[in-house]
Structure 1
Amino acid sequence: MRVLREILRQPSALFGFIIILIVAIGALGAPLLAPFNPDEQMFDGLTLEGAPMPPGSPFLLGTDTLGRDLLSRMLFGARTSLLIGLVANGVAVAIGLLVGITAGYMRGFAGNLLMRFTDLMMAFPALLLAIVLAALLKPSLWIVAMVIALVNWVQVARIVYTETRGLVERDFILAERSLGAGHGRILFLHILPHLIPTAIVWGTLGIATTVLLEATLSFLGIGVQPPNPSWGNIIFESQSYFQAAPWLVFFPGAVILLTALAFNLVGDALRDLLDPTQRGRG
């Protein structure tokens, strides 16, 4: 609660928190808030010329190229994008923690081998690697989440490795070892609690990257597949109508931008509060 109060005192973090709250409410309440079925092609959803309807009553954000309500698809798309963001980033943080703690604590040949593999993964452009993996596997919601997790864990692993290396040389760890404490006790009771703030910070910041990466993969046609809506594939389906119906690209693009910005603002605030390396810096 103290951390939440401190975040709400910062205007930028408060703005980000409100945006995240609005998006979360829209995603969770999509079945109740959506005015239409997101997959229903409305009889009056297209003009006489077959063009999408512009924003206005009864379609507040207009319709897409198939006459489906854009607001309804964006609400259900929020569920897809946030679910992938949370799951993919949660798995990425878990993998990064496991690799970083193991390499930092064991050191020696095993630790060096793990970190050289991490460096090898960091050498590949994340987007290019994600495109290759998504193209090799059959795209689906969970496959996309796992692909994103597999390319996003390396930054967490590097940070956790560095912090673990510093922790194992601290006096309280050396004292535990001299008293005969086992590796499990040292790792779970003395090292892991010091890494939780780092995991929270990078977990929050990583959601923004994950949402953007999911939108990029869906925009390229190798992410979440239609008819399941996501913000990225809404833009993908409508890109050819950018000049005739710009709202089809503008609205989902603006939501992606605001959501990524919101998680970055909250993540920066959490880093200032929880990351010990940031304390005292102005």
Structure 2
Amino acid sequence: MRRVFAEMTRRPSTLLALLLILVVVLSALGAPWLAPFAPDDQPFDGLSLEGAPLAPGAKYWLGTDTLGRDLLSRLLFGARTSLVIGLVANGVAVVIGMLVGTVAGYSGGMFGGALMRFTDLMMAFPALLLAIVLAALLHPSLWIVAMVIALVNWVQVARVVYTETRGLAERDFILAERSLGAGHGRILFRHIAPHLMPTAIVYGTLGIATTVLLEATLSFLGVGVQPPQPSWGNIIFESQSYFQAAPWLVFIPGAVILATALSFNLVGDTLRDLLDPTQRGRG
């Protein structure tokens, strides 16, 4: 891991992405101390005399929203929501995908085939549409949204892990372990699982970007995290009617979402190049 981290820091784009991720994480953790206002505070001078949001200025660095709340404070607290959902939802998705893919690939036969046909069935549904339906059926909240996203994002991991496990199960060292009488648990945890860890790390990183974008999309459509709890998606959703009069209310949260997703994608791509032996030497 030290070698991987050293290699990542030698790449300027990846180093910049790591710094941006660090800034977002520290901002989310330090939101109660960094935010100049509480996210739901509505100062008496937060709107103009005409009732319009205030442009960025000395007191409100990023301006105010349609209710006079400080946009910077809401972005900082919204980072906590988006990152919690990104980490929890993607973590659960990776665990489910690893479990299904490993069991299906190792067991094979009708049971493994049935698991993968179910995975294919889940892949046939558009992820966004399925997430909207599930979120609409359940009462949207932070944890419900995280679980909904996890339930639609595990299939890609399962498919990749299944293919890798099928290849590993036929390797000579696995066959030798079986001939020596090793149990299924020992083979899975001592020999197959370590070979799958690079895949888990790569998809665990790449999936955070997808999860953050999906959460923002659901919140923008009104079936994600519900106000007054701030998230980057519902900040844009609440401000879309002021797109022309106060464009900073849409552009600034959109730029934050874009920068965060791009940073996680860059880090994930670099990890894939370094950890996946099939990718080394390409490009």
Q: C-alpha distance in 1, partners of 2:239/2:130?
A: 26
User: Is 1:263 paired with 2:264?
Assistant: yes
Q: TM-score under structure 1 normalisation?
A: 0.99
- Shift of residue 277, structure 1, vs aligned partner: 1.3
Q: Deviations along 1:164-211, whole A, 9 cap, x unmatched?
A: 000000000000000000000000000000000000001100000000
- Shift of residue 11, structure 1, vs aligned partner: 1.2
Q: C-alpha distance in 1, partners of 2:134/2:192?
A: 34
In structure 2, the partner of 1:71 is 72
In structure 1, the partner of 2:35 is 34
Q: Deviations along 1:212-257, whole A, 9 cap, x unmatched?
A: 0000000000000000000000000000000000000011000000
User: Is 1:235 paired with 2:254?
Assistant: no
* Equivalent AA in structure 2 for residue 121 of structure 1: M
Q: C-alpha distance in 2, partners of 1:24/1:5?
A: 21
Q: C-alpha distance in 2, partners of 1:169/1:125?
A: 34
In structure 1, the partner of 2:246 is 245
* Equivalent AA in structure 1 for residue 199 of structure 2: T
* Equivalent AA in structure 2 for residue 133 of structure 1: L
In structure 2, the partner of 1:173 is 174
Q: C-alpha distance in 2, partners of 1:151/1:133?
A: 10
Identity score, percent: 82
* Equivalent AA in structure 1 for residue 215 of structure 2: E
Alignment gaps of 5+ in structure 2: none
Q: TM-score under structure 2 normalisation?
A: 0.99
Q: C-alpha distance in 2, partners of 1:49/1:215?
A: 30
Paired residues for 1:1-282 under 5 Å:
1-282=2-283
* Equivalent AA in structure 2 for residue 78 of structure 1: A
Return structure 1 stretches of 4+ with deviation > 3 angstroms. none
Q: C-alpha distance in 1, partners of 2:282/2:65?
A: 48
- Shift of residue 280, structure 1, vs aligned partner: 2.2
Alignment gaps of 5+ in structure 1: none
**3-state DSSP class of the match of 1:58?**
coil
Q: C-alpha distance in 2, partners of 1:206/1:268?
A: 11
Q: C-alpha distance in 1, partners of 2:277/2:164?
A: 10
Q: C-alpha distance in 2, partners of 1:162/1:279?
A: 19
Q: C-alpha distance in 1, partners of 2:15/2:62?
A: 27
Q: C-alpha distance in 1, partners of 2:234/2:5?
A: 34
Q: C-alpha distance in 2, partners of 1:19/1:55?
A: 22
**3-state DSSP class of the match of 2:18?**
helix
- Aligned-pair RMSD on alpha carbons? 0.5
* Equivalent AA in structure 1 for residue 106 of structure 2: Y
- Shift of residue 15, structure 1, vs aligned partner: 1.4
Q: C-alpha distance in 1, partners of 2:17/2:125?
A: 31
**3-state DSSP class of the match of 2:159?**
helix
- Shift of residue 57, structure 1, vs aligned partner: 1.2
Q: C-alpha distance in 1, partners of 2:243/2:9?
A: 38
Q: C-alpha distance in 2, partners of 1:132/1:277?
A: 37
Q: Deviations along 1:83-141, whole A, 9 cap, x unmatched?
A: 00000000000000000000000000000000000000001100000000000000000
Q: C-alpha distance in 2, partners of 1:128/1:15?
A: 34
* Equivalent AA in structure 1 for residue 217 of structure 2: T
Q: C-alpha distance in 1, partners of 2:47/2:5?
A: 46
**3-state DSSP class of the match of 2:86?**
helix
